[in-house]
Amino acid sequence: MMPKFVLAWITSSDEHGASLQDGGHVVFVRHPERGWEIPGGHLNDGESPETALRREILEETGLQVTIKTWNKTYYPEGWVASVVTDAKPSSQRWEVDDSKVEEIGWWSEVPPVIMWTKQEFIDLDEWCQNSN
């Protein structure tokens, strides 16, 4: 069954899959109402999950990524991909031309959340670490 939405857990290829608990970094985007979250969104009609994910990541972060693996079970209607980018973690925040993204940044811990739970991101971090 196709997902309704896709999400990306983006890590740097420089960190060789290090989890947040092991000093790794993950890209989060700050939505105006939902706060910090991982990039992603809904599939357009006829769009594959891979195409939707790459489109959403590019729109929301400006990053190019390589998809490593999918978690198709964590969310009932969505898939989460473990992806890597050649971009290096930095303390610099950046912006893109997307009204649904106020800023983007690398985090070495789960950022302050509003709509999501800290546990969701801890679970996804552990899943990504175990899938490497």
pLDDT tens readout for residues 3-60: 999 999 999 999 887 889 889 999 999 999 999 999 999 999 999 999 999 999 999 9
Q: Residue 63 sits in a domain of what CATH number?
A: 3.90.79.10
DSSP 8-state symbol, 32: T
Torsion of CA 73, 54, 93, 34, to 10 degrees: -50
Measured in whole angstroms, how far is the alpha carbon of residue 91 from the centre of its chain? 17
Q: Is the pLDDT of residue 122 over 90?
A: yes
Q: Which amino acid is at 18?
A: A
Q: Is the pLDDT of residue 132 over 80?
A: no
pLDDT tens readout for residues 102-118: 999 999 999 999 999 99
DSSP class per residue in 36-56 = EE-SEEEPPTT--HHHHHHHH
Q: Which pLDDT score is estimated for 13? A: 92
Evaluated on CA atoms 54, 60, 64, 67, the torsion sign reads negative
Q: How many domains does the chain have?
A: 1
Structural domain harbouring 119: 5-131
